[in-house]
Amino acid sequence: MKRLKIALIPGDGIGKEVLQEGVKVLKTIDKIDNNLFFEFEEFPWGCDYYVKNGKMMDDNGLEQLKDFDAIYLGAVGHPSVPDHVSLWDLLLKIRKGFDQYVNLREITLLNQSLTPLKDKSEKNIDFLVIRENSEGEYAGVGEWMNKGTPEEVVLQTSVFSRKGTERIIRYAFEEARRQKKSLTSISKGNALNYSMVFWDQVFNEISQEYPDVKTYSYLVDAASMYFIKEPERFEIVVTTNLFGDILTDLGAAITGGLGLAAGANINPERQFPPMFEPIHGSAPDIAGKGIANPLAAIWSVAQMMEYFHEGNWKDYIIESIRVLLKEGRYLTRDLGGKSLTTETGDRLIEILTQMVTENKSK
């Protein structure tokens, strides 16, 4: 029997609402599966916490989290705290502090009706973006000189270390080999004449060790165009922190929007706990109304199951989302429906429960 300790950080805005639905899914799994047992502990960190305590999380927050098997996060951000403060002191602090250098974002179209792309269907849009998650453009290195004067100069330095670049690219090659898929590197060596030339070089070097993996290398501008025009080109993608951030919102846009987009932040060596999250953010404009789409948060539970080597549960969850989208009766507003967050969550659980019990009785 696996006992798994999950740290819940609902955070801000709709984060609280959608996380609740994900937790319901985890509790359903716990109930059905005699081998899995989840324990939850909730942490009140976020912008409200900042307003009361002057900080986003406890000073020893990482220490408190480090023995959990996973962190499940809702969203961070509220107009009461500048975004760069709230995010650097909570979300990015966890990603970096726990060396979660791999960010996995699945770009999978589950129902043709969800894509704005004409003539594209499920078989055309099904790939995985592996985003570098610990350095690059998000290194947080820079300087703000002569602030407020006409001589003002601001530097924001990207950092691409040999170790950091090799490990993410190697991870991507391993994944491509395991899945027997092609690997596409997305960079920008023509303009970024240090960092991206280096990235391309490392990609080439490592590709020599994986002669079985077919590779492609695109500039990020061209890749953005192909995301729209020929998404079927992509199977596994590896890219930098910022490019990955931007491209995965684009990926969300072609698969149903941010209401469905999830991300897994992983330390592959498993020295630190992973973190799973919907990537839509806190959406203060619709917070508290109970209308947010819980499917992204639920998709991140699927990713959590995969991390725990419970691939069957992952498949069941994704297939349940597929059925829910297809029947179309319990969709939230972002998907053109009228359902509340909780109604969509409840329906998903019904579908999941039925699917699993039917399969067991076979």
Residues near ligand IPM (CB under 6 A)? 87, 91, 245, 263, 279
CB of 193 to Mn ion, least distance (A): 26
What residue 85 binds from Mn ion, ligand IPM, none (CB within 5 to 8 A, per partner kind)? none
- List beta partners, residue 107: 127
What residue 220 binds from Mn ion, ligand IPM, none (CB within 5 to 8 A, per partner kind)? none
Q: What H or E segment, with its residue span, contains residue 293? A: none
Which of residues 26 and 107 has its CB atom nearest to Mn ion in the complex?
Answer: 107
| 245 is an interface residue for Mn ion by CB under 5 A | yes
Residue among 157, 109, 110 nearest 137 (CA): 157
Which of residues 182 and 224 has its CB atom nearest to ligand IPM in the complex?
Answer: 224
8 Å CB contact between 22 and 301: yes
Total chain residues near Mn ion (CB under 5 A) = 1
Total H helices, total E strands in the chain: 12, 12
CB of 214 to ligand IPM, least distance (A): 28
Backbone angles phi, psi at 264, to 5 degrees: -115, 130
What residue 87 binds from ligand IPM, Mn ion, none (CB within 5 to 8 A, per partner kind)? ligand IPM
CA 362/CA 359 separation, integer angstroms:
5
Which of residues 159 and 253 has its CB atom nearest to Mn ion in the complex?
Answer: 253
Q: How large is the C-alpha radius of gyration of the chain?
A: 20
8 Å CB contact between 160 and 199: yes
The upper half-sphere exposure of residue 93, i.e. CA atoms within 13 Å in the direction of its Cβ, equals 21
CB of 235 to ligand IPM, least distance (A): 21
Which of residues 292 and 351 has its CB atom nearest to ligand IPM in the complex?
Answer: 292
What residue 114 binds from Mn ion, ligand IPM, none (CB within 5 to 8 A, per partner kind)? none
Residues near Mn ion, by CB under 5 A: 245
